[in-house]
Amino acid sequence: MANYLMIDFGSTFTKLVAVDRDRGVILATAIAPTTVTTDIRTGYKAALADLEQAIGRPTVFERIVACSSAAGGLKMCAIGLVEELTVEAAKRVCLGAGAKVDLVFAHHCTKAEIRQIVDMKIDIILLAGGADGGNTECALFNLNLIGEAGISIPIVYAGNKSAQDEVLELYTRYHLDGHIAENVMPKINQLNVKSARDAIRDIFLKRIIAAKGIKKIEEEIDEVVLPTPEAVLVASELLSKGYMNEPGLGELCVVDIGGATTDMYSVCHSTKRSDVILRGLEEPYAKRTVEGDLGLRWSAPGIVKALTEEEIKMIALDTGVDLKAETDRRFADVSFLPETAHDEQVDKMLAEMCAYKAMSRHAGRMEEVYTPLGIVQNQTGKDLSDVKTVIGTGGPIIRSRFAGSILAKTSNVFHQSAELRPAKPDYYVDQDYLMASMGLYAKFDPLGALRIMKQHIVSVK
Amino acid sequence: MKSIVIGVIGADVHAVGNKIIEYTLTNAGYNVVNIGVLSTQEDFIHAAIETNAPIILVSSLYGHGEIDCRGMRAKCIESGIGDVLLYVGGNIVVGKQDFQEVRERFVKMGFNRVYPPGTPIDEALSDIRRDLGE
């Protein structure tokens, strides 16, 4: 009998999922507060005790693996040349690797910007710039600045291939913790994610989790293998595509609302239409965006900032909710849980706004251009209008009685024809909080992970 | 290998000539960065920056070229590629105008080479070679 244990070290909670591989079922799940500031093992052991109690007997696990977004997650700085091209490509690679992109710089950096990298406690720098055979000067300039500042943060160079030799020389000259990956944008508008993402993942495993005090756990378990958002991305892709004879759910979106951020994932092609002209940088098939200003606790004030004075007044008139006071209250007490029906309603409203805004930023845009040859459809970003499946995960959605209503805000509720949101999707909830764990479990048993997800991700109205 | 950015500017979707230019210049040994139809001035400039292209070749077939190309040199200067060579060709203005005047207007706008309708791409190719000192 082979049992597997998956752990998700979140910023607030440590979540455990035990799977019986032979029977293809969840044995039990357990949850305890994350204790990364003291000793991460304490919270893990508390959750493990609960888990074993739920299973009803001591259990031997064949493999114990974890993903982590504890201790601030993976904080990255993306540097490129032109904002719409290599900067955007670098940003997308960071997001696809499960990172939070706290700093983004274009063109020549300044010394003040380089200082910010240290001040913001960035974990990894992704340095890009120039298509292959193109500009090398900018990336080298920036690397020189980083070197002169004596920064010891790991750097991944994923820019113009032609500069690699000079980059290596600078790595040696300044004693930098330097790494080389393929160019994130080898040709104009062509996105190349994999190599740089693998380099980031490698550094995350070898360096970052040790630096954050998460490594201690590896005395108890096998290994920490992924940042949590990347595990969710892996699970989303598997759930969409299916595995061998087991069909997937087809194209889908996943929205994960948390206390600090709202993550949006889409697994689909940019467009299925042949009558549109695609503009801009190529879109990844499995795409993740993160909204650092949209969340129900730490980032609650960000929701209000995204609204105009008039909108806040309208909401107060309409619903009697003082949005400013409610969000300030949540920001002041991030462990706040709704107690009254009113609290629940406000949380629902805030979650709806997060879902709406996050989708607005994730989905592509269609613009009609009048040309002498007639109207031409000009598309930027991804067209999600045919996506039939929208899945909600994260505490605020899973625990809410209004999950369906929150998820509905990802569709085109306000009939904005320019935004390419899912038109008529069905809504599902990851009710047992399994997606990240199944992203981990998929490494051993993709078919089992897929079947468990299909069983436990349930439809909501 | 030197890069040349090509594309069709403005709300213009004429794709055939664009492909012919790409074919010819690629055969001539250049790294052709084709940003395609419906391109803005910024699209051309951004591509030239990332690829270190010494030449931008702007096509316009629908007669609005003069409006679409205005201010492009200034934007190149602002973007740090003030020395880039700007070529333009196609049906760049409306109606039967004296091409000498048209050329002067575009030269004033900062274009280095201006081609009248029907110019074979080989003629531009020999200009490219000359301008790049090849």
A111-160 confidence digits (pLDDT tens): 999 999 999 999 999 999 999 989 999 999 999 999 999 999 999 999 99
Q: Please tell me the predicted confidence (pLDDT) of residue A227.
A: 93
> In A, which residues are within 8 Å of B33 by CB distance?
131, 187-188
User: Within a domain: residue B20?
Assistant: no
Of the candidates A443, A450, A456, the one whose C-alpha atom is nearest the C-alpha of residue A4 is A443
Task: Name the pTM for this structure.
Answer: 0.89
Please confirm, yes or no, whether B14 is among the known catalytic residues: yes
Q: Which among A188, A221, A254 is the end of a domain?
A: A221
Token pair, residue A444, equals 């051993």
Domain assignment present for residue A260? The answer is yes
Tell me, yes or no, if B64 is annotated catalytic: no
- Are residues A279 and A134 part of one domain? no
Residues A36 and A121 in one domain: no
Residue A443 lies in a domain: no
Q: Which domain holds residue A84?
A: 75-201
Q: B44 and B56 in contact (C-beta within 8 Å)?
A: yes
CA A16 to chain centre: 20
User: Of the ranges A72-76, A448-452, B119-123, which one carries the lowest mean pLDDT score?
Assistant: A72-76
Confidence of residue A384 (pLDDT cuts 50, 70, 90): very high
pLDDT in the model for residue A1: 66
The answer on A415 and A281 residing in a single domain is yes
What's the gap in Å between the CA of A266 and the closest CA on chain B?
A: 26
B94 pLDDT tier (thresholds 50, 70, 90): confident
- Both A257 and A311 in one domain: the answer is yes
State the average pLDDT over residues A309-314. 89
Amino acid at A191: L
Q: Is it the case that residue B127 has pLDDT exceeding 90?
A: yes
| A285 and A405 part of one domain | yes
Q: List the Cα angle A418/A423/A424 in 5-degree steps.
A: 165
Residue A284 in any domain: the answer is yes
- Would A172 be classed as within a structural domain? yes
Same domain (yes/no): A256, A339? yes
Residue A372 has pLDDT above 80, yes or no: no
Bridge partners of residue B60, in order along the sequence:
B90
Q: Could you tell me if A351 and A456 lie in one domain?
A: yes
Residue B44 counted as domain residue: yes
Domain at B2, CATH number: 3.40.50.280
ipTM: 0.81
A88 part of a folded domain? yes
Does any domain span residue B52? Answer: yes
- pLDDT for A307 equals 86
Nearest-by-Cβ selection for A130 from B43, B50, B63: B50
Question: Do A328 and A400 belong together in one domain?
Answer: yes
Statement to judge: residues A197 and A296 lie in one domain: no
Å between A162 CA and nearest CA of chain B: 11
Residue A461 in 3-state DSSP? coil
Owning domain of residue B39: 1-13+27-59+74-115
Please report whether residue B32 resides in a domain: yes
Strand extents, DSSP E, A337-412 = 365-371, 374-380, 389-393
Confidence class of residue A85 from pLDDT cuts 50, 70 and 90? very high
Buried b vs exposed e over A52-66: b needs ≥16 C-beta within 10 Å? beeeeeebebebbbb
* A227 assigned to some structural domain: no
In a domain, B55, yes or no: yes
Question: Considering chain B, what is the average pLDDT of its residues?
Answer: 94
Residue B108 lies in a domain: yes
- Per the structure, the count of domains in chain A is 3
Closest CA to A201 of A231, A175, A170, A221: A231
Asked if residue A128 and residue A59 are part of one domain, the reply reads no
Average pLDDT over residues A176-187: 96
One domain for residues A127 and A193: yes
Q: Give the per-residue pLDDT at A12.
A: 81
User: A277 to chain B: which residues are within 8 Å by CB?
Assistant: 13, 36-38
Number of CB atoms found within 10 A of residue B99's CB: 14
Residue with tokens 């078919």: A447
From B9, which residue of chain A is nearest by alpha-carbon distance?
A: A371
Average pLDDT over residues A409-415: 90
Q: Please tell me the total count of domains within chain B.
A: 1
Number of neighbouring beta carbons within 10 Å of residue A352: 20
